[in-house]
Structure 1
Amino acid sequence: MLRKIVNVFYNIWCVFWLVSIFLLLYPFIFLCIQVKSWNRWGTELCHLWADLFFFISGLWVQVDYRFVPNKKDTYIFVANHFSYLDIAMGMKVVRNYFCYMGKSSVKKVPLLGYMFRKLHIQVDRSDKSSRMRSYKMSLKALHSGRSLFIMPEGGIISKHIPKMHQPFKDGAFALAIETKTPIVPISFLNLYEIMPADRIFWDWPRVIVHPPLSVEGKSVEELKLEVYEIIQAEVDAYRQRNHQENS
């Protein structure tokens, strides 16, 4: 019982700082997103938001960079999606100028929705015209040299976390093939144990950034399988190590 109470208060602490830092930075972000050429600075402020949040909340991120993305190059970053921390973690780990492709429901969140619409790409997957519009916006972003960050499960929808939901959405992989943009898989190993959680989890958030995958000569289905196996293998290995250490 005590653990659950402490966990509730800790989650409140995290949400408080997540919102407070955002509100502190929002006037500057708002200014940056009014001018297209200043959008890059808006993204930099979002990186700062993530840095401050994870530091103040005591979630000191441990990243295994098996590949360090060149900030001047363009990539499609693809990660598993099990936790409410995943979006903030993406901003913390990936320092390229990128945009998320995410659910259009975010636009309903006050302030955050407006910022997301200006800096990122929203998609309503139930609306074919919205999917096509988002795909074209993503192509435009990639052709302009801006990277994308996509979670191909389509939301936190897995019923067997930490197993990724299958099948993946095609978007990230079709975009990679059409533009010949390398895919960089990212494994979020334990964020689902931190938030949401029904127990206190005393460990640092752990992330692996994998080497990029060439898309040359591969089909969408082949890429989907390759990315799934890379990300899921590391999530499974971490869980197995953790289970052995605690048993």
Structure 2
Amino acid sequence: MVKLLKKAHTVLYYSAVSFFFLLAYPILRYLTLHPSKYYNQIVFLRKWISLLACWLVGIRFKVTFETTIDWTQPYVICPNHTSVLDITAISYLCKQPFSFMGKIELLKNPVTGMFFKSVDIAVDRKSKISAFRSFKRVHQLVKEHKTIVIFPEGKIDDEYPPQLHEFKSGSFRIAIENQVQIIPVVIHDAWKILWDDGLKRGSRPGTIHITVLAPINTQNLPSEASNQLQTSVYHQMKSFWDIYNDHQTVINSGK
């Protein structure tokens, strides 16, 4: 019965996303014809489509900031990745327009495809030419003072329960080369609400807790420092991930 209810909740969630997307579609269709001109408006609609869908099915977000963020500055935001809800989580916490960098398969989805053809960046990691063009586009957006969100793990892993997997170097090289700060973000329990795309285990209402760590300055760092920065950020995020999960284990065990 529980499994059936979780499946029904997933259907309800995707129905809500589709409903709000279709409601906004006529406006989006026009705005995406001129993505540079209407960048902020497209990002605004992307945010509220996802947030309203979550609100309708009882999914909430709670954010803890390690320090105050100056949202007038561009950043490279690096969150962990266990759920499609991570996209909404970042939209909820980020107070400025931004672009996602994601896998090329997202272009095939009628909802995400509209955004990845306009304000977001799709990358085919199997193609060096595609990867080069995508990272060139990222550099261009950063130079335009825009924030970029890159999931440094590269994908949602098949392992369940999920762990924090080693990072890829792209986001750290971009931050150093453009001298912009990195914001590590730990999304703790989105996978408990809806793991991956929800098709295997379903979903449920609940609150997703997010920790936004202090921005990391990349000013004057040489390009060869990207590997060290990558390792440092990984261990920092893993520490928060492990502490939260260990705490939840203790609570659930009743100790």
So what's the TM-score if we normalise by structure 1?
A: 0.92
Matched, 1:41 2:47: no
Counterpart-to-counterpart distance in 1, 2:182 and 2:114: 28
Could you tell me which residue of structure 2 aligns to residue 124 of structure 1?
124
Could you tell me which residue of structure 2 aligns to residue 225 of structure 1?
231
Counterpart-to-counterpart distance in 1, 2:227 and 2:160: 22
Q: How does 1:31-180 map to 2 (within 5 A)?
A: 31-35=30-34, 36-157=36-157, 159=159, 161-166=161-166, 168-180=167-179
- The one-letter code of the counterpart of 2:233 is V
Counterpart-to-counterpart distance in 1, 2:45 and 2:153: 27
Counterpart-to-counterpart distance in 1, 2:238 and 2:25: 35
Distance 1:43 1:170, change over 3 A: same
Aligned length in residues: 245
Counterpart-to-counterpart distance in 2, 1:34 and 1:25: 15
- The one-letter code of the counterpart of 1:221 is N
- The one-letter code of the counterpart of 1:205 is I
SS in 2 for 1:101: strand
Structure 1 gap ranges (5+) = none
Could you tell me which residue of structure 1 aligns to residue 4 of structure 2?
5
Counterpart-to-counterpart distance in 2, 1:131 and 1:12: 34
SS in 1 for 2:183: strand
CA RMSD of aligned residues (A): 1.9
Could you tell me which residue of structure 2 aligns to residue 214 of structure 1?
217
Contact map agreement 1:21 1:53 (CA 8 A) in 2: yes
Distance 1:243 1:200, change over 3 A: farther
Could you tell me which residue of structure 1 aligns to residue 251 of structure 2?
245
Distance 1:58 1:201, change over 3 A: closer
So what's the TM-score if we normalise by structure 2?
A: 0.89
**Could you tell me the percent identity over the aligned residues?**
24
> Post-superposition shift, 1:37?
1.3
> Post-superposition shift, 1:158?
5.5
